[in-house]
Structure 1
Amino acid sequence: MVRVVPGISAGGHEKIRTGTDGQKFGLSIADGYAQHAVARILDQPQLELTGLHCHLGSQITSVKPYLAAVRRMVGLMARRHEQHGLVPPELDLGGGHGIAYRPGEDALDLTSLARKVRTELADACASAGLPVPRLVIEPGRGTAGPAGVALYRVLSVKHSGETVFVAVDGGLSDNPRPALYGVRYAPRLIGRHSPAAPARVTVVGRHCEAGDILAADAELPADVRPGDLLAVPVAGAYHLSMASGYNLVGRPSVVAVRDGLARLLVRRESMEDVLGRDVGL
C-alpha cells in the first residue's frame, strides 16, 4: 500500500495532525510524490499495489474530514486509472476516531461515520466510473481507550497559595501525553467514600519536571490525602504503549479485571530490570 497525504488538517492538536503536507508521514498528493510512488510500484513486476492508505490525525470528532479524504483519495485513484488502467482494490482511511476523556467532551459518532463514509465512497466512485474498493478503518484508540483505567497512589498534598498540588506515584514515565499535547483527564478518588466538598486541584507526577502535570484543574474531594488511590479513566490506548523509563522510574504493571477476578498481564518493572542492561558494573 502507499501512505498518501491528502492535505487535510484534522485532529485535536497540531502535533497529532498527520494528514497535512509538510510533515514526516506519508507521500503528498500536492507535490506529486504519491503519484510517483504508485508509478514506481507498478514498474516493479515483483510488487503488487494492494491499495491506498491515509491517516488524517488523532482525536477527530467530526465526520467531515473523512468525507473530504474520500473525495481526494478517489480522485487520486481515478487519475491512476486513467494513466495505468488500474484501480487499487483497497482504501484504508486510517483511524483517529475521537473519544471522550472527560464527561461532556465530544466523541466521534461511529454510526454516522460509517453511513456517511460508505455513501460518499459509493457516490465518488460512481462519478469517476470506478468500482468501489474494499473500505478499511483502524479503530485503535476508540476500542482500546475506554477499556483501560490507570491507577495512581497519592504521595503528598501541597498547598501553594490558591493552588493545591496532589502528587502521585506516576506521571511522565507512564503518560507523557498531557505534557506533549495537552490531553486532559478526569481523575477520581476510589477506595473510600469522602464526605468532603469537591475542590479544584492539580494532579502532578513524581518526576523532576515542572511540566509533569497529569491533570490540571481536576475536581477531587478536599480531604484527599497521601495513601489515597486515584483512578484515571480512558487509559487503555496509550499508557502502556507510551510508557518509558523516564527518570529511571520503572514502568507499571498491567492487570486484567473481569467479574471480580484479576489477572496479571504485564509485571511491574523493577530496579533490577532497569540495571540489568548495565555492563560496566
Structure 2
Amino acid sequence: MSTPVPVSFEFFPPKTDAGYDKLLSVHTELKTANPEFFSVTYGAGGSTQERTINTVIELNRRGVPTAPHLSCIGATTETLTGLLDHYRDAGIERIVALRGDLPSGMGNTGGDFRYASDLVAFIRQRYGDRFTIEVAAYPEMHPQAPNFDRDIDNFVTKANAGANSAITQYFYSVDAYKHFVAEVRRRGCDIPVVPGIMPIINVSNLIRFSDACGADIPRWLRKQLEACSDDTARIQAIGLDVVSTLCRELLDDGAPGLHFYTMNRAEPTLAILDRLG
C-alpha cells in the first residue's frame, strides 16, 4: 500500500462497568492503527442513549474524533437540538445520521423525523457545516426497501440533503458494492461510499446478524463456515483470509477507505489490517 488507507472503527456502548473498561482497552489498541474516527451506535428508541453519549464524549477526549450515531426513532426537534448542542459543546465534529430500526409493528418513527434525509436536512439547516455527516448505505438493498431503484433514490436524497459521506452495511460481495456505487454515480451523486467490514469471529452470531439486517452471506462461505462446527481457530482463519481478500479487492477497485464493525474487539480487525500491510 503506497499511501495509508483511511480506516474507522465502530463500537457499541457497553452495558456494564466491566464492558466499559474493556472498551477503553480496545480503544487504546485500535488507536495504534491511526483511525480517521471511531463511531458509537445508538439503541432503537434511545435504549442506550445515555451510555452512547458518555462513551462518545470520553473517547473523543482521548484524542481520536468520535462520532455518535443519531436515530430518528422517537426523536423530536427539541430532543435532537438538545443532544446536538451537547455534542457540539463537547467538541464532537462528526455525526452518523440514521433513521434507525423500526420496532416490530411500528409504521413510522414516532417522532418529528420520518427519514434519515429529514434528519440530515435538519442538522444542516440548524448547524451549517459544524458537523461532518455520515449516512448509511445498503449495497444489497435495505431490507425494508420496496426495490433496489427506490433504495438508491432514497440514498441519493440523503446525500443531497447534505451528507458528506456514507458507510455501508457489511457485505461479502465486491460486485454488490461496485454495482451500488455505479448506480449512485449514475444518478449524479459523488459522495464517498466507504465499505463497512465485518470480521468473521462467530458463525452463529454472524448468521443471526445477517438475517436480521439483510446482509447476504454467500452460500459458498456459509457452507465453509458451517463445516467448521465449533472449531473457533479454523473459523477465524477462514474469516481472516476471506475478509482480507475482500478488503484488498475493494481497495484495488478504488474504495475510499474501510469502516470496521469491531464488535468491541481489537484483535480481528488488527489482524486484517496487518494482513493488508
Give the TM-score, by structure 2 length. Answer: 0.33
Which structure would you say has the larger RCO, counting Cα contacts within 8 Å and 6 or more residues apart? 2
Query: Which protein shows a greater Rg?
Result: 1
Task: Give the structure with the larger strand fraction.
Answer: 1
Task: Give the structure with the larger helix fraction.
Answer: 2
Give the TM-score, by structure 1 length. Answer: 0.33
